[in-house]
Structure 1
Amino acid sequence: MTVILKNRLAQETSPYLQQHADNPVDWYPWGPEALAESKRSGKPILLSVGYSACHWCHVMAHESFEDAGVASVMNELFVNVKVDREERPDIDQIYQVAQQMLTQRTGGWPLTMFLTPEQLPFFGGTYFPKTARYGLPGFGDLLVRVREFYDANRTDIEEQNARLLDALSRTGPGTAGPTTEFTRAPLDESYRFLKSTFDPTDGGFGQAPKFPHPDSIELLLRRFAANGDRDALAMATFTLTKMAEGGLFDQLGGGFARYSVDDEWAIPHFEKMLYDNGWLLRLYADAWVATRDPVFERACRETVAWVLREMQSPEGGYYSSLDADSEGHEGKFYVWTPDEVRALLTEDEYAVVAPHYGLDRPPNFENHDWHFVTAQPLAKGAEALLAAARAKLFAAREKRIRPGRDDKVLTSWNALMIAGMARAARAFGLPEWLTSARKSLDFIRTTMWKDGALLATYKDGKAHLDAYLDDYAFLLAALLEVLQADFDSRDLAWATELGDVLLADFEDKSNGGFFFTAHGHEKLIHRPKPGHDNATPSGNGVAAQALIRLTFLTGDLRYQQAAERTLALYWPQMIRHPGGFGSLLGALEESLVPTRTVIVNGPAPDFGPWRALLDGAYLPTSVSLFLPDGAANLPAPLAKPVKGVNAWVCEGVTCLPPLDSPARLRETLGLPTIAPSA
């Protein structure tokens, strides 16, 4: 066999695809060439979906895709297609669901699917070892058996495909009824569900593996803001504290890993994703504003420090992720032994660090290493010693071989971090964080926004792939956060353009809701319309809430009507199973009690006390804007008379008379004089 020195993936922008450019596998990226070759040759398609920070993707690559013998079988029997799930979430969504239908097992990565030339899956799974183990067949043997099955059972496969297509068509939310009267019932039922699954010992919901579920925590914080429910606040803050003090949070370098493999948040799956950290940064900033708990401030400051240090490109965009592995081992970059730590510190420093980070306990990582957790509170007066020790340990860790970084820029994930940075900048009064957000926003505007449409991904000077629902919805929501931190009428104009594209190119005019792909997108075997929150929030939920808010900033009722059609479409599901619909439930709340808009206008130098009041308050269903004298091109709802500094409080479309002092604004909003304590 002739070894392929560089396959087609070498020309792709995805670092994940580029990782496989040296494989002896004759890989194709997803596209017309691969699909045409499958039809021409009659070979079925082997579709492999993963991402660059995925540990088991690396394992399968090393075992099978780098093996000449396995690659020879793959090349002989299949047209082999490699997909980065981060660049093509449309493809990943479809075949993850199909895999679950075919195997009755949960999905994940790597995803391994076998398709007909018509892109219809007939067999699949996730990770397969090279040789049989874990109760799984060896991959080489599996390839032969799958091809034999395909050649011998075409009629059965066609019948199965028809059933699968029908099942896929029924995975959507269905059709909205003619009228829907919204109530708080799904919000209340969701709260009961969260209480029933809450872990009172370690925080979080359910059992290991434990994911952060920021949508659920946000619902609890919003419930506290709405009615003062202290139990909701306690569940939210306890979970946030446990995550920030556990190994899910990088105690030396900041930033959160994807999830914890145990109930105690001690040992994570070590990859760090931009989307988790953007969403969690906004959530921790909100929690700090609501409670002033220093644990939440530290989580924000150290997460931002990590992002600025490691995740923002010189061009301005934020990178996508850090790998779980280094030197071929998951977590190796992050773990220690007591002897390693002791050798770097003074006796006094080690005496503080060992009990604080759990080095005086048995190893917590694979029975021989220690991953730092906040094992017990810091001794009083030991702050300086801990700070000195952390600086030494961090400097030593920086000399290790680093995990790989996926340096592509994704519009949707950048939008989540822009929103987190802008919210945290307001909460802590730190304009340099807003500067970071604006750098990313400017990068997207100049590089990813072309001819009135967004592109999804960028790397090495090339932006491409039509954007998805999440790109538009998340960016619209991010712009609304940036407008509250630093009003610019050009940002509001861009927000309205994004809203218009959502309505024109993504909305299902007949049934309500938004498709994940635009009307002119490449035709695939299914067109999802996702409503559940997953690792990232639901595009439908974020779009609905952002469009409701955009209505009250622009006066354009089309946005609210589209949001209400979306809520009506998902209403039956939210009534039956409200768990997992956090983003849509946030939109529901703001449709029941209209979004409150607080407009402060006048000379910008006089905004200080007004901004301190509004930015320092937890007001999750409010939008606060500071409009300086001379702000141009304002839509009617924002064009208020200017006389000194005034605040206008509008509930929906009804505005109160202007308020001429922060004290009167505080009283009108019902804010306490002193921030509450958790």
Structure 2
Amino acid sequence: MAQSHRHSANALIHETSPYLQQHAYQPVDWFPWQESVLARAKAEDKPILLSIGYSACHWCHVMAHECFDDPEIAALMNAHFINIKVDREERPDLDKIYQLGHQMLTQRPGGWPLTVFLDPIDLYPFFAGTYFPPKPRHGLPAFNDLLLKIVDFYQQHRDQIKEQNYLVADAYRRLDRNSGSHEGVNLSTEPLNEARQQIGQNFDATHGGFTPAPKFPHLTHIERLFRHYYATKKPDSYDETALSMALFTLRKMAFGGLYDQLGGGFFRYSVDEEWLIPHFEKMLYDNGPFLCVYTEAWQIQADALFQRIVSETAQWVMREMQSPEGGYYSTLDADSEGVEGKFYVWDRQELQNLLDKDHFPLFATHFGIGKIPNFEEHWHLHIVLEAEFLTEKYKLDGDTVSTRLNHAKKLAFEKRQQRIFPGRDEKILTAWNGLMIKGMALAGQTFAQKEWLLSAQNALDFIRQTLWHNGRLLATYKDGKAHLNAYLDDYAFLLDAILTLLQARWRSEEMQFAIELAEVLLAQFEDKKRGGFFFTAHDHEALITRPRPFTDEATPSGNGVAAYALARLGHLLGETRYLQAAERTIKAAWLSINQFASAHGSLLLALEEDAIPPQLIVLRGKIESIQVWQQHCQTGFHPHRLCLAIPDSAQDLPGHLAEFTVQGDVVAYICQGFHCLPPVRDWAEFTRIVA
């Protein structure tokens, strides 16, 4: 969204968030969420208009242009409200709390932009909605009319608001009380079967995926299906359907418009059930997990399609989403030049002018450039006819088809690069970087791509140097400024990422960093009475509630990832405190898991490894020798295996790792849970055991 300079800057001009800065020159007297601003609302007895969004949000831009740029609407807002803008990516704590408030008040899910009116005394929401237009439309009131009604209601019905606030506060308390405790819980693996059944019931056998339109990827479902396939990989119980559902969905998404067929990377979701037309924003937090699931798909079934998707997405990440400092940027906007999807879609004549008679027919047939445009008089590319079927249609050999298609894609990509790019949110978020570091590390290790591993390492180095301060993480960085206390997801996702990267190559300082992150999780986030982890630290700003999120949302559950990563670190180090904290988390979530198992994919990974601890393989010796053995460990799909190759130069290893000493060129220590085999120094014996 272009900034308007018709007005002097408001208080958002000093913020690091690009989303907040987009609103810095509007006629609205916007403020960031700060204690002094909240105190002012209370002192002036003005309700708070809280607007939450993010920079890549299309409808946030629409409402900003239609309403917040309007001087008359702004005048109403300024006269009667204290107006606070929040970037949900920097303040996910506030977003979680007030999205839940919206759901309580409206009995339906929220979204962005989130528009909430707060009582300035106790900050409870008394009215909530999402997008509002400047004139009545789509059954929604005009925003200026709504503002006047809110003002009148606030002034005339304070007792009603006070009574409703009491009910909302009680609802928050009841949700917290009912969120579960670890005491008296006996774990079982039945939720794993329940989740498999639920995912199967929701599977779209025609187009892949697990919901009707709008269709989201639900990558934790695919991960669960892979794990279920692996767990049943025996001749008498092999769940072939679980695997086929996952791979079919991945192929459909890869062929569809959800995937950027020229530049790599995935968009947020599909507006239709066939994955053809996406909502065009690209999010870092989607693409890190996408790298993981397509890499795992290739480990299971070495399909060249999966390798291509991983390679193109990794190249896109390094080309467009990695800062010169090392960290990964957050998002690419859905809009370019104020039009959604404009950067990505094509005019048929433009392609005909670009490609000659040898290339255009192949390209057009492959990508569905037919007679009828599929997106607002333009074409968005998706694969209609695979390359192998073009050989018969055009009487060409496979190599010629492949060469011509690749050349046409290259020309189209280069032409597209000359367009005006979508806006890029260049803030660096610790949690989302954790997701991408894991994705790049797993892909780099699996496909032996040192460049991808270096990309992941550079991002982790940046976080350690810039966002790790006085033994605590910070949540966000931009323009030389790191700030805001980190959340559960920051610690959990980063810990999980480090454990993945360590399996690609060993660095002692990163293991130490992982331990420090784990210690902060236990000291600052754990609910000592009930188990599990709060989303905010014990010394975080006091808000109207303090959630312990167990379900997966757009990103995996921080509690699930924390339990999974802590347990793995606990097995590596022989640290029972980590193992116990992980088990308490699963038990605390047990009620929630049993209510809807498939919504807890991240916690189910932790549950599965609580029941069947991971196989731990530690290789010690000369770097050249242990790398060969490590490659054998990591060939294929082995989700319950942790393999670390620690060179003989590494000294003073922590915990249980110190017992794995160097013995000659190479020695393997193999443990399953709390039982270890004698050290293995013979290659033949090693390959027999590690099949």
- Amino acid paired to 2:353: A
Provide the TM-score with structure 2 as the length reference: 0.95
Q: Deviations over 1:556-577 (max 9, x none)?
A: 1000101111111111221221
Residue 371 of structure 1 pairs with residue 380 of structure 2: yes
Deviation of 1:629 (Å): 1.1
**Structure 1 equivalent of residue 502 of structure 2:** 483
* Partner residue in 2 for 1:645: 666
Unpaired stretches in structure 1, ≥5 consecutive residues: 672-678
CA contact (8 A) 1:220 1:233 kept: yes
Whole-angstrom CA distance in 1 between matches of 2:79 and 2:447: 59
Q: Post-superposition shift, 1:663?
A: 4.4
Does structure 1 residue 412 correspond to structure 2 residue 455? no
Q: Does 1:51 align with 2:54?
A: yes
- Counterpart CA distance in 2 for 1:517 and 1:657 is 44
SS of residue paired to 1:485: coil
Q: State the Cα deviation string for residues 576-623 of structure 1 (Å, max 9, x = none).
A: 210210000000000000121111111111234323222222111221
Matched residue SS, 1:561? helix
Note the 1:279-678 alignment, pairs <5 A. Answer: 279-360=289-370, 362-366=372-376, 368-378=377-387, 379=390, 380-381=398-399, 382-638=401-657, 639-641=659-661, 642-669=663-690, 671=691
Match of 1:154 among 154, 158, 163: 158
Provide the residue aligned with 2:40 in structure 1. Answer: 37
Q: Offset at 1:177?
A: 5.0
1:249 to 254, 259, 262: 259
CA distance in 1, matches of 2:371, 2:174: 52
1:130 partnered with 2:139: no
AA in 1 matched with 2:293: L
- Equivalent residue, structure 2, for 1:19: 22
User: What SS is found at the alignment partner of 1:551?
Assistant: helix
Q: In 2, are the aligned partners of 1:555 and 1:635 still within 8 Å (CA)?
A: no
Out of 86, 95, 100, the residue aligned to residue 98 of structure 2 is 95
Q: Matches of 2:654 and 2:627 in 1, distance apart? A: 25
Cα deviation digits, residues 213-258 of structure 1 (max 9, x gap) = 1111000011112222221111111111111111000000000011
The residue type paired with residue 554 of structure 2 is: A
CA contact (8 A) 2:550 2:592 kept: no
Q: Which amino acid aligns with 1:640?
A: F
Structure 2 runs not aligned, ≥5 long: 234-238, 391-397
Shift of 1:128: 0.2
CA distance in 2 between partners of 1:441 and 1:87 (Å): 19
d(CA) in 2 for partners of 1:105, 1:552: 42
Q: In the TM superposition, what whole-angstrom CA distance separates every residue of 1:179-201 from its partner, at most 9, and x where no partner exists?
A: 32221100000000011000111
CA distance in 2, matches of 1:180, 1:349: 64
Which residue number in structure 2 is paired with residue 63 of structure 1? Answer: 66
| Preserved contact between residue 484 and residue 623 of structure 1 (Cα < 8 Å) | yes
Write the distance in 2 (CA, Å) between the matches of 1:307 and 1:175: 39
Conservation of the 8 A alpha-carbon contact between 1:4 and 1:26: no
Q: Which range moves more in the overlay, 444-453 or 603-612?
A: 603-612
Match of 2:171 in 1: 167
RMSD: 1.3
The answer to whether the Cα contact below 8 Å between 1:548 and 1:595 also exists between their aligned partners in 2 is no
Shift of 1:37: 1.3
CA offset at residue 267 of structure 1?
Answer: 0.5
Worse overlay, 485-494 or 165-174:
165-174
What is the aligned partner in structure 2 of residue 676 from structure 1?
none
Residue identity opposite 2:160 in structure 1: D
For residue 192 of structure 1, what is the amino acid of its counterpart?
A: Q
Kept in 1, the 8 Å contact 2:180–2:590? The answer is no
- Report the equivalent of 2:123: 119
8 Å Cα contact 1:609/1:662 also seen in 2: no
- Shift of residue 4 of structure 1? 4.3
Letter aligned with residue 420 of structure 2? I
Asked if the contact 2:627/2:645 (under 8 Å) is kept, the reply is no
2:278 paired residue among 268, 290, 295: 268
- Is the partner of 2:110 in helix, strand or coil? coil
State which drifts further: 66-75 or 617-626.
Answer: 617-626
Shift of 1:636: 4.3
CA deviation after TM superposition for structure 1 residue 666, in Å: 3.6
Match of 1:181 in 2: 186
CA contact (8 A) 2:263 2:316 kept: yes
Question: How big is the shift at 1:488?
Answer: 1.2
Name the stretch that deviates more: 443-452 or 284-293: 284-293
Residues in 2 aligned to 1:311 and 1:590: alpha-carbon distance in whole angstroms: 33
Give secondary structure in 2 for the equivalent of 1:589.
Answer: helix
Distance 1:282 1:666 in 2: 26
**Kept after mapping to 2: 8 A contact 1:613/1:662:** no
Contact 1:5–1:22 at 8 Å: present in 2 too? yes
Are the equivalent residues in 2 in contact too, given 1:4–1:25 (CA < 8 A)?
no
SS of the residue corresponding to residue 607 of structure 1 reads helix
Aligned to 1:171, the other structure's residue is in SS state helix
The whole-number CA distance in structure 1 between the counterparts of 2:182 and 2:76 is 52
Q: TM-score, normalised by structure 1?
A: 0.97
